[in-house]
Chains A and B, each alone.
Chain A
Amino acid sequence: MSLEIYINGLEVETNEDTKLAETKQVNDFFEIKDRQTSRTNSFTIPPTPRNTAIFEMLGIVGSTTLFPYRIARIDVKRHGITTIENGRAIIKETEYGKAYNIHSYDGIIDLYGFIENKKLSELDFSDITVQEINQDSWLASLNNTWQDGFIFALADYGNIEDVVEINYQVPSLFVKYLWNKIFSEAGYTFEYVGENNVFESPEFQESILSITEGYSNETDEEPEVLKLDLSKSGSFTPPETTIPRGSGNLLNDSTISSSTIHYIRFNEHQDPDNLHITSTSETYNRSRIRIKESGYYKLEVLCQISSYNSSGSLTIERNGTNLFLNSWSSSKTIDQVKYIYLKENDELFFRFTANYQDQYSSLNYDIAFMMYLDNSAIVLNFNQYYTEVGQKDFIKDVIHHYGLMFQRKGKVYQFISIEDLLTNQGNQEDWSSKFDSAISEEYRIGNYGQKNLLKYTYEDEADNFADASFRIDDLTLNPEQDILTRAFKAPAYSTKRLNNRLLRAVPLWEKSVDDLGNVKEIRPKKSKPFLMRLERSAGSISYKFYEDGEVQDFTGDIPYGGFTGLDHNNIIANRYSAFANLLDKGKKIKVRLYLTELDIYALNFLRLKYIKQLGQLFYLNKVENFQNKKRTTCELIQVRRFINRGEYNGDYNSDYNI
């Protein structure tokens, strides 16, 4: 069998019309913004009985299958050699009696598929929750490193005096902690395949992201007050996996990736403030818990799932986004206490997601939910922040910032910096024996201008102190082009000095003053996260907890929120020089190569290719429509030896000119 296609692990039947021409591209070299692309390959398979059963009777009028609305896994083998592993497939169309039209997505999309639409706030931060912000928790964090997840980095968060009031200091999450967390929760690992491992660099380990809002300092001594007592014993029916075995059915049972979503409609036991809102229909309604009083809340969830053998999750949603996600696989008891600050009119929902299971049965659950208002302490839960920051955006931002290219090999993502790739020319393969002929060359490469801007966002929109640009010597291009804007804010300098050091301004609180200039109110303020770099410096500071707290001194290594090395002038100089050099008078060349299945299997975009007949070294940008036994058109980027034609001049106001 020359072409074997597996959908969700089941081999589908193909016919002569099934032509899966594989286009391979993991990084569109000249598109910085969308460099991490994935290619779509379309193909058809016949609606044979086996295929129709695998697709759960899709294409038969009246069918209720969810198959076309779910993402399936695809694997492809050619002559037994895997050329697509763990890709994603979506059925786009059924031509009755003729074909299923399928789109497959390969390459780096796998991770992106998993984290698509997920926010940083949906990561499991249960290992780093700050149960209470006070002197002890603040002091304990000052020596934290990325393994600890977070740190209180000293900065001007909107209210700072000579004596630091630590209830106006916030924790920030380490970038490396977040990066590792996203990969591990998605079930992947990563490695660096170049010489200068950015993931072990001081900058990567010291970069931190501020939380996205200051917290309320309005605490009181009142004990916790029960606001809600709800429970529900219920059940619902997840979809079944088993393809029914008729006589002669040769299919194996298989789990098809899909799930059923079920919102809980609770029964009330105590609801003194009428927070629990439902309609009269018990069957079709879901419970909506609408907060009437802003404050710190303690949420207690005790849930027991029975008569159900598969995995799933229980999610608490706040205002339509996931707040807490409790997954289960083997143990089916969830017993959790969560602290969170909720605002007036916030709405909570409870949602089950049950995956397909082998033995078809109902999912029975027994859940109790208690909610207390507890303003006796500042409780910080990272899940309530970063709700606007997508995990995918975070990953892309890191990739852009460090100028990385990457590819996926099974469950491992391999990274290399563009500088490493282009300057370490010993890391190359000789593809001369695969060369057939050259087709064409192209000079307009990517969406660039003569002057290309890399930007940050800022608290003050007029700022641009961390922006920079590089030039391309091509008078036919637009004079200026924005090519990248970071997802995070660059912190400007504050006016406040401590230990003779100018602090960075990360305004997560804002003061309002009266006519006499007296502070009337200090209110939390929402913001995009600020990107900072941890800078430790020995010294002493005085601090207190609350305005009237006892003033104490701390002497030792003080972690400051700085910005060293994060501005784009540095980035271009250190990470985009070779790239910019390549863009300058760059050429994209199309050639015909004779590639085999083994070449596709072992395809390594992170190694340059040498072709003797052309006398040049190339970056392999794309493999177009690979099919067995045919010549394949490939897109190559000519790599000139890197010549450093400029120097970083240290002047932030001057473009780095190469």
Chain B
Amino acid sequence: MAIQITNQPTNPPYPAYNNSIIEFTSDAGTPITADIIVNGYTFEQSADADGIFHFNLKRIIEVLINQNNFSDHIAIDNPADFLFLDQTLFLDVEIEIIISFADDSQESQTFTWPYIKSVIQEGEKQFNNSQLKLLAPYANDICHLTYFEGYPFDISIYSDIARLITITNLRTGLATDLNLLKGVNRLFISNGENDNLGFESQLPLYLGINELEFKANDQIYFTLLLNKRSPECGNLLKFFNRQGGWSYWNFMDLHVEKTKADTIDRLNSDFNNVDKSRGNFAITGKEAEKSRSLLSGLVQDHEKKLISQLPTSPKVYLYTNELASPFELNDFIEVEVDGGTFSTSNKHQQSVFNLTINLPKIYTQTL
């Protein structure tokens, strides 16, 4: 006699932003109600006619895993420390099921499910490897990413246990070992500086494509084709991708800014004789917003796929620091990608992406 789980998500870690439906029953009696206790919160469910309970954990997981509203809180104090466990991107959820039966007896079972902040689309191929994987758009056994030298850049790696991995740059034959912890690890390839005191001091990267092989216990888990581009001023956007990690793209420096201003309120001041009057109204001030239109420059097909996630990203930051400077948390200011339609075409291998971002609200002097 035991609780039987008849339906549950597969292929952990589970995506927090897809349905997480669990169905269960028990052969220990006639199930009437069930308490499902998720990280201490209790939810009541009633059994269907066949004694099966149906429950979707999705909203609960969304609440539990995202108390920071997708914000990134990791900054580098010391360039030599370039690997961080990001506790905001992973959550082990403890679930206890207590079934109450018609005869007033109870039965319970507890288990833990791992979740990351990802979302999977209908028909999208899932990453087969559940133990160690890169949280980047369209990442699979082989993944393409672009790193703009002189700007901050990190990759997010999920590991189901704490483990030692070896990264080998096949282009140079050099390798380095890293100790990953259970959860999502952020590997900062660069903190923005060019002095090579960080990751590149251990594993130098050359301009152009570097083929980085990620191994653990002699097993290759994936290969990252990292395209390192030479330093160039631009508008660097950092955004949260659908796979549950952070991505970057440096848009061209060339851009157009628009400012829109409105009067907040008009006050009547018609209280004087006309010969003593200096006007009969006054405004309480202005409120204003600013937007910036960006151009991606010519992008490759896989880069286009990465940038195409920007319009749906829940968190986008604009980097405001100088090129080749170490970044601080406040150098990234939150912006909003303007709504609307975004078209991509596979007609040409290379294309240009246009994007408008709304900048933070402008502070004005008001009454």
Which residue of the partner chain B has the closest CB to A64? Answer: B42
By a CB distance below 8 angstroms, the chain A residues around B59 are 52, 60
Asked whether A603 is an interface residue with its Cβ less than 8 Å from the other chain, the reply is: no
B69-A53 in contact (CB<8A): no
- The answer to whether B41 and A57 touch across the interface, beta carbons within 8 angstroms, is yes
Scan A586-604; emit 1 where CB is below 8 A from any B CB, else 0: 0000001010100000000
| A63 at the B interface (CB under 8 A) | yes
Residues of B within 8 A of A435 (CB): 271
Residues of chain A contacted by B40 (CB below 8 angstroms)? 240, 242, 244, 360
Bitwise, B353-366 to A at CB < 8 A (1) or not (0) is 00000000000001
Q: Write out, one digit per residue, whether chain B residues 248-273 have a CB within 8 A of any chain A CB (1) or not (0).
A: 00000000000000001101100100
Q: Name 15 A/B residue pairs within 8 A (Cβ), A-sorted.
A: A13-B69, A53-B67, A56-B41, A60-B59, A244-B39, A244-B40, A247-B89, A247-B92, A248-B89, A250-B68, A436-B267, A594-B284, A613-B271, A629-B366, A629-B367
- Chain A 238-275: CB-based contact to B (< 8 A → 1; otherwise 0): 00101010111111000000000000000000000000
Q: Is the CB of B68 within 8 A of A629?
A: no
Question: A50, B67: Cβ atoms under 8 Å?
Answer: yes
B63/A49 in contact, CB under 8 A: yes
B112 interface residue (CB < 8 Å to A): no
Does B66 contact A62, Cβ atoms closer than 8 Å?
A: no
| Distance from B15 Cβ to chain A, minimum over Cβ atoms (Å) | 16
**Any chain B CB within 8 A of the CB of A631?**
yes
Q: Which positions 40-66 of chain A face chain B at CB distance < 8 Å?
A: 48-50, 52-53, 56-57, 60-65
Q: Give the A-B pair count, Cβ closer than 8 A.
A: 95
Are A62's CB and B367's CB within 8 A?
A: no
Chain B interface residue count, CB cutoff 8 Å, equals 37
Give A13 to B64 CA distance when docked, in angstroms: 15
Nearest residue, chain B, Cβ from A50: B67
Q: Which of B63, B90, B91, B267 contacts A52 (CB 8 A)?
A: B63
Indicate whether B62 reaches chain A with its CB closer than 8 angstroms: yes
Identify B69's interface contact among A48, A61, A592, A596, CB under 8 A. A48
CB distance from B259 to the nearest CB of A (A): 19
With both chains docked as a complex, state the minimum distance between the C-beta of B70 and any C-beta of chain A, in angstroms.
Answer: 10
CB pair B285–A437 under 8 Å, yes or no, is no
Is B367's CB under 8 angstroms from A63's CB?
A: no
Distance in Å from the Cβ of A10 to the closest Cβ of chain B?
Answer: 12
Q: Given A49-B66, A62-B45, A596-B367, decide whether A246 and B91 contact each other with a Cβ distance below 8 A.
A: yes
Q: Which one, B69, B268, B285, contacts A50 given CB within 8 A? A: B69
Closest Cβ–Cβ distance, residue A2 to chain B (whole Å):
10
> Which chain B residue shows the least CB distance to A360?
B40
Least distance between A596 CB and chain B CB atoms (Å): 7
A594 to B93, CA, bound (A): 51
- Give 20 new A-B contacts, CB below 8 A, not counting A60-B43, A64-B44: A48-B69, A53-B63, A56-B41, A57-B60, A57-B63, A61-B43, A62-B55, A244-B39, A246-B39, A247-B90, A248-B66, A248-B67, A249-B64, A249-B67, A360-B40, A435-B271, A592-B268, A594-B267, A594-B284, A629-B366
- A residues touching B (Cβ–Cβ < 8 Å)? 13, 48-50, 52-53, 56-57, 60-65, 240, 242, 244, 246-251, 360, 435-437, 592, 594, 596, 613, 629-631
**Is B36 engaged at the interface, CB distance under 8 Å to the other chain?**
yes
**Residue positions of B touching A, CB distance < 8 A:** 35-36, 39-45, 55, 59-60, 62-69, 87-93, 183, 264-265, 267-268, 271, 284-285, 366-367
Interface of B is mostly: mixed
**List of 10 A-B pairs having minimum Cβ-Cβ separation, nearest first:** A248-B88, A62-B43, A247-B87, A244-B39, A249-B67, A244-B40, A49-B63, A246-B64, A49-B66, A52-B63
Verify A630–B41 contact, CB threshold 8 A.
no
Cβ–Cβ contact A629 & B265, under 8 A = yes
What residues of chain A lie closer than 8 Å to B285, measured between beta carbons?
629
- Note all chain B residues with C-beta closer than 8 A to A60: 43, 59-60, 63
Q: Would you give the shortest CB distance from B88 to chain A, in whole angstroms?
A: 3
- Contacting pair B367 A594 (CB below 8 A): yes
In whole angstroms, what is the CA distance A61 to B87 when docked? 28
Give A53 Cβ to nearest chain B Cβ, in Å: 6
Q: How long is the Cα–Cα vector from A249 to B183 in the complex, in angstroms? A: 15
B111 CB → nearest A CB, Å: 16
Chain B residues, Cβ within 8 Å of A13 = 69
Q: How far is the CB of A370 from chain B (nearest CB, A)?
A: 34
Summarize A's interface: helix, strand, loop or mixed.
loop
Most buried by A among B45, B67, B69, B268: B67
Return the contact of B87 from the options A248, A592, A631 (Cβ within 8 A).
A248
For A246, list chain B residues within 8 Å (CB). Answer: 39, 64-65, 67, 91, 93
Q: How far is it, in angstroms, between the C-alpha of A250 and the C-alpha of B41 when the chains are bound?
A: 17
CB pair A247–B88 under 8 Å, yes or no, is: yes
**Which of A64, A251, A592 contacts B43, CB < 8 Å?**
A64
Chain A residue, CB-CB nearest to B184: A247
Give chain B nearest CB distance to A68 CB in angstroms. Answer: 15
In the complex, what's the smallest C-beta–C-beta distance from A251 to chain B, in angstroms?
A: 6
In the bound complex, how far is the Cα of B41 from the Cα of A249, in angstroms? Answer: 15
Q: How far is the CB of A242 from chain B (nearest CB, A)?
A: 7
Q: Which residues of B contact A594 (CB under 8 A)?
A: 265, 267, 284, 367
Residue with the highest number of chain B CB atoms closer than 10 Å, among A53, A57, A630: A57
Nearest opposing residue in chain A for B90, CB measure: A247
Among A65, A249, A437, residue most surrounded by chain B Cβ atoms (within 10 Å): A249
Give every chain A residue within 8 A of B265 (Cβ-Cβ): 594, 629-631
Q: Which residues of A contact B66 (CB under 8 A)?
A: 49, 248
User: How far apart are A316's CB and chain B's nearest CB, in angstroms?
Assistant: 31
Complex Cα gap A613–B90 (Å): 63
With A52-B63, A62-B36, A249-B64 already in contact, the answer to whether A57 and B267 are too (CB < 8 A) is: no
Cβ A247 vs Cβ B264 within 8 A:
no
Out of A49, A248, A436, name the residue touching B268 (CB < 8 Å): A436
CA distance A246 to B62 in the complex (A): 11
**Closest chain B residue to A97 by CB distance?**
B59
CB–CB A63/B43 < 8 A: yes
Q: Chain A residues with Cβ under 8 A from B89's Cβ?
A: 247-248
Give Cα A244–Cα B69 distance, bound, in whole angstroms. 16
> A96 — nearest CB in chain B belongs to which residue?
B59
Most A CB contacts (10 A, CB to CB) among B63, B91, B267, B271 go to B63
* Complex Cα spacing A657 to B279, Å: 51
Q: Which residue of B lies closest to A242 (CB)?
A: B40
Residue of A nearest to B287 (CB): A629
A62-B45, A244-B39, A436-B267 known; A49 and B62 CB under 8 Å?
yes
Assembled-state Cα–Cα distance A437/B268 (Å):
7
Chain A residues near B62: list those with CB within 8 A: 49
Residues of B within 8 A of A50 (CB): 67, 69
Instruction: Tell me if A244 and B183 are in contact (CB < 8 A).
Output: no
* C-alpha gap A57/B65 in the complex (Å): 13
Chain B neighbourhood of A57, CB < 8 A: 41, 43, 60, 63
Chain B min CB distance to A22 (Å): 17
Structural contact, B60 and A251, CB atoms closer than 8 A: no
Q: Among A65, A244, A436, A437, point to the contact of B64 (Cβ < 8 A).
A: A244
Interface centre among A57, A65, A246, A250 (most CB of B within 10 A): A246
Contact A629–B67 (Cβ < 8 Å): no
| A645 → B minimal CB distance (Å) | 34
Q: How far is the CA of A629 from the CA of B271 in the complex (A)?
A: 21
Q: Which residue of A lies closest to B265 (CB)?
A: A630
CB pair A63 B41 closer than 8 Å? yes
Instruction: Give the distance in Å from the alpha carbon of A61 to the alpha carbon of B42 in the complex.
Output: 11
Name the distance in Å between A387's Cβ and chain B's nearest Cβ.
Answer: 37
Q: Are A247 and B267 within 8 A (Cβ)?
A: no
Which residue of chain B has the shortest Cβ distance to A437 in the bound complex?
A: B268
A141 to B60, CA, bound (A): 64
CA distance A50 to B69 in the complex (A): 8
CA distance A64 to B34 in the complex (A): 12
Residues of B within 8 A of A56 (CB): 41
Q: Report chain B residues within 8 Å CB of A629.
A: 264-265, 284-285, 366-367
